[in-house]
Amino acid sequence: MDPYVRTAGLDEADRALINDSLSLVRSADARAVVRDLLPRLTEREQESVAAHCDVAHAAALVFPPSLDGLIAGLRADGFTVGEAVPSVVVRERLSRRYGVPVTALEVTILHVQVPATGQGPCEIELFVLETAPGTELRAIAARERMERNESHLALEVRAPDGVVMAGLRALLADHGGLAADGGGYNSLENCTVLYFLSAAADGRDGLSATGPARSRRLELRARGHHPAVLAAHRGAEPGDPAKRLLELMTGAWTTQAIAVAARLGLADQLPGPSVRSTRGTEAAAAAGSVAELAGRLTADPAGLVRLLRYLAAVGVVTPVGDFYALTELGALLREDSRHSLRSLALLYGGPFYQSFGELAHSVRTGREAFKALFGKGHFDYFAERPGLAKLFDSAMAASAAMFEPVPGLFDFSDARVVVDVAGGNGQLLGLLLARAPHLRGVLLERAHVLEGARRHLAGAGCADRCSFVAGDFTRAVPEGGDVYLLSRVLHDWDDERCLTILRRCAESMHEKSQLLLVERLLPDTEERMPRAAPSLAVAWDLHMMCNVGGQERTTGHYQRLLATAGFELLSVRGLPLDGNLLHARRRG
């Protein structure tokens, strides 16, 4: 017969919670838990989660009048009870839920060993909040017993490391549909805990098949301290709605703080992200004081301190002693960074920042705010201002990381000529020519852009294999190419202009020519978009409407455009920075 709790002096609801947990943990296994809590995962994904985890325990929150009395009663019923340890996570969650000070909630954890059949020893975990008759905690106890907010099942990660933990967390949240719901590191147990909240697919709370305790909460446990995964998990929590909305509303302040740092050249004056502990302090000391830094940057020392403090809060710099060092994020603002984003910071904090202030015009009219503000579209406006034109071309080259996998994702062995339509400074074309010495390139661009493209490709050692053609791709595209590139071009235009560009390409292609597009893709409506990490295309779609008059599109939208222009979409491959490589060919 299964053991159960008879402990005298317990509220009947508490006794039922404990016995439900006992019944559940004796019958559940990892596959059943994963299947019932994560119906959105594919069968293969469910197997992968189960392969890394074991059922650790079932848990419940109970409210006995005495902790010592509960422990004595459990032992009298034949259970082995471990040492009582304080709870941090549940106490904080109860405090937020009911507005009660944390100091008024002394929550204790008891681990109760359960002899299980067929799967070895297992346990239940009891969160215990002593609740004497007549205290204000009685109302909390009544509600918690009814709602069972803290009842959960726990999975123990067998061999936790950073990669496994990050992968499991992402799979449970992004694909499994679980919401981050707290977590922490218990130094007494040397254990990292991630809590998730589930809503069952059929609308009922929790598990449907593994037992009577219908838990909506899943706990992922891992031995050791995993701060990076814990930080990512906490960052995905919903938190205080008002605070979160304030954070969103002040996003423009972050844009300007980063732009000012870029304009000052701040990142070029700070130690890099590789410094650590003593070495970091030494590097900071070698860089001087903030006052000395302010002198080099011709900035007000007090104002610079306040800027650095804010940049530290958003993760661009980090305090080291009395100075600051760059984080990996901040290092990308350096002028000499391999994929420096300094030019983008200046562009987004400059003319595009001004035009984005007129977003309401775009939303009301569907027309670009940049033209309404500056009197003409940004391509023409920048072309008349060499400084802005240079900044724009540099900013576009800043996303070169998106291009790096392209040479390995398409077979260029049968191609001889690659035509890069509106290829900017030739960043992508240069990569292809460097990887495939048998290729020749043709770069079609506006006349004022070609000079920079010649310099870039000469520096890459490829200019002698490239022809530079000044022209308008809406009128004609060079003929004779085996592969045609349209890299981040179509998103600048409406559908009608896109069809014109695609048709000009089709007219110039021979029957075996191939077409490659590089674009960000909006999630299709049927796709599951992770709540914590939507595609960059969602934000860039708004940017394109406001500043360019174009739009980002879904895969299906591009497929329809290509088909109308006489192409067949063959494949879509992912690229860095949420980019995609679309491969198409002419039909027939």
Catalytic sites, residue numbers:
491
Q: What are phi and psi of 421, to 5 degrees?
A: -85, 120
Contacts 24+ apart (CB under 8 A), 99-107: 100/140, 105/129, 106/130, 107/61
Distance CA 168, CA 150 (A): 22
Distance CA 486, CA 30 (A): 48
How distant is the alpha carbon of residue 500 from its chain centre?
Answer: 36
Contact in structure between 566 and 504 (CB atoms under 8 Å): no
Distance CA 346, CA 247 (A): 22
CB-CB neighbours of 392 under 10 Å: 23
β-pairing verdict for 514-520 and 440-445: unpaired
Tokens 């049968």 map to which residue? 414
Tokens 């499991």 map to which residue? 168
Distance CA 294, CA 283 (A): 17
Closest-CA residue to 38 (of 528, 516, 396): 528
First and final C-alpha spacing in the chain: 73
Distance CA 50, CA 158 (A): 10
366: alpha, beta or left, given left = phi > 0 and alpha = psi -120 to 50?
left
Distance CA 22, CA 59 (A): 9
Distance CA 85, CA 108 (A): 6
Burial tier of 1 (Cβ tally within 10 Å: 0-12, 13-18, 19+): exposed
User: Collapsing DSSP states into helix, strand and coil, what is residue 364?
Assistant: helix
CB-CB neighbours of 384 under 10 Å: 10
Handedness of CA 548, 552, 558, 561 (dihedral sign): negative
Burial tier of 387 (Cβ tally within 10 Å: 0-12, 13-18, 19+): exposed
Residues with Cβ < 8 Å from 377, sequence gap 6 or more?
Answer: 368, 370, 371, 548, 549
148: alpha, beta or left, given left = phi > 0 and alpha = psi -120 to 50?
left
Across-strand partners of 470?
445
